[in-house]
């Protein structure tokens, strides 16, 4: 039996999932889906920064455009260390396309004019 706290909504249901993937403690269907995914293939959205050549800021905030496998998070962070971006940059611009062959992009989360 695995115990989890659901992070899909602010309610924070205390979930239990057994070896047969039966979920209890959820108040909605999303909790059941979350628990099954968390046990079989946990994913997270990665948020970080990359170097930025700009007069205003030295770092650009970025994130994945979709959740990525938790097992790949540290590899993604290593790739981000290698990146340097020149201003101008718009929020939503793709900074790295298809990172690590995952079909997931790294996108800017802030607009920098200069």
For 21-50, what is each residue's pLDDT tens digit? 999 999 999 999 999 999 999 999 999 999
pLDDT (0 to 100) of residue 56:
87
Task: Give 19's DSSP letter.
Answer: T
Question: In sequence order, what are the residues at sequence separation of 6 or more whose Cβ sits closer than 8 angstroms to the Cβ of residue 108?
Answer: 60, 61, 62, 85, 89, 90, 91, 92, 93, 95
Q: Which two tokens stand for residue 12?
A: 């924070």
Specify the DSSP element, H or E, that contains 73.
helix 73-81
Specify the DSSP element, H or E, that contains 37.
helix 29-40
Taking the domains of the chain in order of start, what are their residue ranges?
2-40, 47-108
CB 1 within 8 A of CB 20: no
- pTM of the predicted model as reported, rounded to 2 decimal places: 0.83
CATH number of the 47-108 domain: 3.10.530.10
């Amino acid at each position: 039996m695995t115990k989890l706290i659901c992070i899909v909504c602010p309610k924070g249901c205390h979930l239990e999932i057994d070896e047969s993937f039966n979920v209890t403690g959820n108040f909605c269907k999303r909790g059941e889906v979350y628990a099954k995914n968390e046990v079989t293939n946990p994913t997270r959205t990665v948020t970080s920064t990359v170097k930025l050549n700009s007069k205003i800021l030295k770092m650009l905030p970025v994130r994945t455009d979709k959740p990525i496998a938790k097992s790949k998070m540290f590899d993604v962070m290593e790739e981000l260390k290698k990146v340097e971006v020149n201003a101008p940059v718009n929020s939503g611009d793709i900074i790295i396309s298809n990172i690590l062959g995952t079909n997931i992009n790294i996108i800017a989360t802030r607009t920098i004019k200069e």
